[in-house]
Amino acid sequence: MTPPGDGAVELHMLVKRYGAAGGARPAVDGLSLTAARGAVTSLLGPNGAGKTTTIEICEGFRRADSGTVRVLGLDPVADARALRPRVGVMPQSGGVPGTARAGEFLRLAASFHATPLDASALLERLGLAGHARVQVRRMSGGQQQRLSLAVAVVGRPELVFLDEPTTGLDPQARHATWTLIEELRAAGVSVVLTTHNMEEAERLSDHVVILDHGSVVAEGAPEKLTGAERQLRFRARPGLGLEELLSALPAGSAAKESPAGHYLIEADVRPELLATVTAWCASHGVMTEDLRIERRTLEDVFLELTGRELRS
């Protein structure tokens, strides 16, 4: 656990309301969190949860109405000059002017730093080598996004903020981005990113903060949030007698059918449990299809906590 005052980012009781005071519900509503140094921290939540507003406050682009913000121990607005060379920022969109040429702009961004990465090699890494002379406005959305990522990391920052770094990218570009983030982490860089993508959050993060309506609903290491619990799923004819099946399973197990013909058993999934379920099905002449054992996902965690799906 990071000692107080030593996190890459520390937010305490942050509140941000758009529009007139007393109007709409705050976009950020009493949010406290710590992003540890040298770790990847993901802010995960549905549309409108307050992820971008939070990250923009950390970047010094917006001011909170109340609460405290510390980025590398400094105030992102008052200490902006001191933070600029130490922090990389990839905004959700519009980070690079449309008339700039990709290679020139990245070299310009690199020139502001003492020991930058090699711009050409970075373009190559992100699949943009062929676009170095292309004007940004002529690049696709995904290409502009990767250029914006390159600009964020070219100065070898201590901390990077990445706002939805892979939204809209094709699988190859997404994997290139994930690999780059994994390398940043291995190099000791602190990364704070926002995402809707649970696979991304589970794969990359040391710490996941699940946001909803501007505050934290759960946080922890991905494997801690999803727990050790596993679940058994199968498809079979609708209307099986689940009460009877449950009576054959260990106490504390749960079973449901939703939608019709899709069954979920939440229990301590051991070989004996699997044997009991399949034997019960066999004795009732039930043919199971698609029988599989799964871990709970962050989607399941969000659904349990809020009653809603993360993708909504």
Ligand X SMILES: Nc1ncnc2c1ncn2[C@@H]1O[C@H](COP(=O)(O)OP(=O)(O)OP(=O)(O)O)[C@@H](O)[C@H]1O
Q: Which residues are near ligand X by CB under 6 A?
A: 18, 27, 45, 47-53
Nearer to ligand X, 45 or 157 (CB): 45
**Residue with smaller CB distance to ligand X, 106 or 149:** 149
Q: Which is nearer to ligand X, 8 or 44 (CB)?
A: 44
Distance CA 263, CA 236 (A): 8
Q: How far is the CB of 71 from ligand X (least distance, A)?
A: 18
- Return the number of the residue (16 or 131) whose C-beta is nearest ligand X: 16
From start to end of the chain, where are the E strands?
9-16, 28-35, 40-44, 66-71, 87-90, 159-163, 190-195, 207-212, 215-220, 230-235, 254-257, 262-267, 289-295
CB of 221 to ligand X, least distance (A): 22
Q: Which is nearer to ligand X, 61 or 178 (CB)?
A: 61
Give residue for tokens 């001011």: 63
Which residues does 82 contact at the CB level (< 8 Å), separation at least 6?
Answer: 74
Distances (CA, A) of 297 to 72, 123, 125, 225, 265: 32, 34, 31, 9, 15
Q: Which tokens is 275 given?
A: 């044997």
CB of 15 to ligand X, least distance (A): 12
Shorter beta-carbon distance to ligand X: residue 45 or 165 = 45
CA 86 – CA 67 distance, rounded (Å): 23
Closest approach, Cβ 302 to ligand X, in A, equals 13
At closest approach, how far in Å is the CB of 57 from ligand X?
Answer: 10
Confirm if 236 and 215 have CB atoms less than 8 A apart. no
**Smallest separation (angstroms) from ligand X to the CB of 53:** 3
